[in-house]
């Protein structure tokens, strides 16, 4: 019965896609990669229903152990999916190592000495290659790991469209330009998300990913010592929080020292991140400006999510699906890598 259901949904999706393709050529209904942004992406949740029904179980079993050994790993894996999707779409380009054909995104400013979790992805890929050779893409592994990490940290789950293929290219310059900087203004955050087809609602909800994980001093030090070029701290930083951060991040050196993005519950996925922003305890400029940036919409959303965790969870799940649909490669575009670090 269950496999009949899987078969039917596969059939319906395939028929729908090809029918729409024929009816509206050039409108992007098909399997070809295009901008996701909430539109029909060609991905669907039962994609591996026949070819690798145990895919999610394998991902979850590796995640459980990795996160038990290192609770921060959940945050690192969630972030990997974000850094993948913002650079030429969710195509696992972020996982490619340097080679004669590839200039790796791993050396881009936002990624170098910063992204973590590559070995966990390798372990998941190795297990999946054993169970279902050359079937589950690295891009889908990133999407499944982001969802699994959220769930294992106490956050929401969601129905996850699958069927992404892996790129045969990477873009170092794309990583440098498309991934927003921690000292961004609210306007540049909005613009950067818009470029990916993501709204202000998505920006605020997805920033809630900072309810778990840590950041290096290098990413917020400016706020402590010279926020506006006048050798003064950021006036929006709450005083005791500011004093605490100064002990972790001295004026010179210590750039790789780390501080939790959500100091109250750093490994728990909850809505504390938004409460902290209301108290002037957002760690990055990009966190605090959601409230202080003078954009009514983002300001109100921070307040709503701080008051209502159910609302935050609901929107986070929706926005993660939307981010996961950004320009996927599908069908004959791209490939399923055998090793996530290199093209086949
Ligand atoms: C809104 C724009 C964003 C900016 C400017 C930003 C910036 C940053 C920075 C600077 C760090 C610390 C990196 C380091 O210390 O090397 C970080 C960490 C993190 N980011 Fe973001 N981020 C943004 C959006 C997102 C989104 C959309 C997600 C996921 C949905 C996310 C998830 C995370 C997580 C989980 C961590 C902690 C990673 C770890 O502990 O390994 N971020 N982010």
**Does any ligand 1 atom lie closer than 6 A to the CB of residue 189?**
yes
Q: Is 84 annotated for ligand binding?
A: yes
Looking at residue 39, its pLDDT comes to 52
Report the range of poorest mean pLDDT among 27-31, 103-107, 223-227, 252-256: 27-31
Q: For 175-194, what is the mean pLDDT?
A: 98
**Domains parsed from the chain with CATH numbers:** 39-177 (1.10.520.10), 180-322 (1.10.420.10)
Mean pLDDT of 60-87: 98
Catalytic center residues: 83
Residue 25's pLDDT is: 31
pLDDT at 41: 77
Is the model's pLDDT at 18 over the cut of 60?
Answer: no
- Ligand 1 in reach of 216 Cβ (< 6 A): yes
**Which protein residue has the closest C-alpha to ligand 1 atom 8?**
182
Q: Is 122 annotated as a binding residue?
A: no
**So what's the pLDDT on residue 57?**
98
Q: What is the dihedral of CA 320, 102, 73, 144, to 10 degrees?
A: 40
Tell me, rounded to whole angstroms, the distance of Cα 286 from its chain centroid: 16
4 alpha carbon to ligand 1 midpoint, in Å? 41
Residue 339 pLDDT level (bands cut at 50, 70, 90): very high
Using the predicted structure, report yes or no on whether residue 294 has a pLDDT greater than 70: yes
CA–CA dist 238, 210 (Å, integer): 18
Q: pLDDT digit string (tens) for 34-56? A: 344 445 679 999 999 999 999 99
180 annotated as belonging to a binding site for a ligand: yes
Q: Taking 50 as the threshold, does the pLDDT of residue 111 lie above it?
A: yes
Work out which ligand 1 atom sits closest to the CA atom of 74.
35
Sort 2 into a burial class: Cβ within 10 Å, 0-12 / 13-18 / 19+.
Answer: exposed
Across all residues in the chain, what is the average pLDDT?
Answer: 91
């Amino acid at each position: 019965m269950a496999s009949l259901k899987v078969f039917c949904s596969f059939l319906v999706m395939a028929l729908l896609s090809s029918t729409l393709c024929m009816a509206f050529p050039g409108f992007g209904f098909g399997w070809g990669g295009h901008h996701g942004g909430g539109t029909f992406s060609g991905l669907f949740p039962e994609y591996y229903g026949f070819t690798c029904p145990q895919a999610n179980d394998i991902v979850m079993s590796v995640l459980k152990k990795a996160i038990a050994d290192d609770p921060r790993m959940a945050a690192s894996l969630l972030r990997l999916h974000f850094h993948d999707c913002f650079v030429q779409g969710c195509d696992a380009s972020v996982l490619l190592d340097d080679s004669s054909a590839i200039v790796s995104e791993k050396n881009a400013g936002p990624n170098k000495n910063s992204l973590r979790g590559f070995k966990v992805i390798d372990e998941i890929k190795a297990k999946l290659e054993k169970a279902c050779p050359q079937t589950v893409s690295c891009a889908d592994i990133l999407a499944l790991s982001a969802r699994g990490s959220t769930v294992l940290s106490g956050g929401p789950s969601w129905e996850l469209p699958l069927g992404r293929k892996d790129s045969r290219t990477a873009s170092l310059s794309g990583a440098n330009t498309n991934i927003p900087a921690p000292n961004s203004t609210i306007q540049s955050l909005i613009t950067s998300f818009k470029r990916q087809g993501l709204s202000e609602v998505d920006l605020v909800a997805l920033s809630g990913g900072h309810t778990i994980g840590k950041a290096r001093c290098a990413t917020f030090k400016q706020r402590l010592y010279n926020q506006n070029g006048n050798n003064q701290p950021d006036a929006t930083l709450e005083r005791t929080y500011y004093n605490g951060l100064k002990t972790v991040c001295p004026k010179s050196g210590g750039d790789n020292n780390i501080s939790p993005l959500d100091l109250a519950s750093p490994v728990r996925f909850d809505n504390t991140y938004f409460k902290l922003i209301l108290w002037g305890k957002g760690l990055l400029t990009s966190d605090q400006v959601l409230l202080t940036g003078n954009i009514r919409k983002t300001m109100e959303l921070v307040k709503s999510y701080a008051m209502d965790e159910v609302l935050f969870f609901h929107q986070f799940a929706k926005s993660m699906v939307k981010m996961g649909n950004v320009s996927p490669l599908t069908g004959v575009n791209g490939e399923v890598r055998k090793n996530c670090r290199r093209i086949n």
